Amino acid sequence: MAVPLIILISLGFALLLNTGVKGLSFYRSSFILPLVVPVASVILVWQILFHEHGALSQLMQLFGLSAVDWINSGWSVCVLVLLYIWKYCGYNVVLFLAGLNSIPKEYYESARMDGAGPWKCFTRITLPFLAPTGFFVLVLSIINSLKVFRESYQLAGSYPDRHIYMLQHFMNNNFSNLNYQRLSTAAFLLFVLIGLMVFALFRFEAKLGRDLE
């Protein structure tokens, strides 16, 4: 759920910033800021916002709505996805900006002279030239999504709501319970899953490269 969302959002921000907005260096620095903020302090803010009696529930009650236990209900996956996007979106924006800046401007000028509109320039020039950067961002986003266990663990503990109970939770809990058979099985399954995913991604990247040629 989070990977397609973060790619679309970060690409949108990158296209917006690539239009020549003033203070681009400031925006780049602000987008990187979430990566350097300590995770524990971020989790504390998220707990204040999304606790059953937190700021968001209090705001809802002002409008006559019932309080929601965001972290310990089906909404927990939305909270975790929002946290993931907030933390890693800025880094992807910077990568997409680097890819956009590497596209020669002459291609856009020639396309406009031939009567191409913004949408055709985007689909015929921007997307093909941005494909290698997009593949790199996709791989990084998947890797970061597999590391979001740290945030989930600090947000809801060892036994969170089932919607955010991950394979890493299962491995960590079985390690604590000294159940090494289930732990090793889960670790092997995770290894196979990541291996198959990386293999499929590189096959897709190779096919995409041949199509673009």
Q: Following DSSP, what letter does each residue of 7-48 receive, concatenated? A: HHHHHHHHHHHTTT-S-HHHHHHHHHHHHHS-HHHHHHHHHH
CATH topology of domain 2-154: MetI-like fold (1.10.3720)
pLDDT at res. 5: 92
User: Domain extents for the chain?
Assistant: 2-154, 166-213
Alpha helices in the chain (DSSP H): 2-17, 24-36, 39-50, 55-62, 76-101, 105-113, 118-121, 127-146, 149-156, 167-176, 180-212
Distance of alpha carbon 213 from alpha carbon 209, whole angstroms = 6
Distance of alpha carbon 132 from alpha carbon 193, whole angstroms = 23
Q: CA 106: distance to chain centroid? A: 32
Average pLDDT per consecutive 10 residues, the chain (213 residues; last block may be shorter): 90 84 70 78 85 84 83 86 88 89 86 83 85 87 84 83 85 85 87 86 75 60
4: its two tokens:
């397609």
Distance of alpha carbon 199 from alpha carbon 176, whole angstroms = 32
pLDDT at res. 212: 58
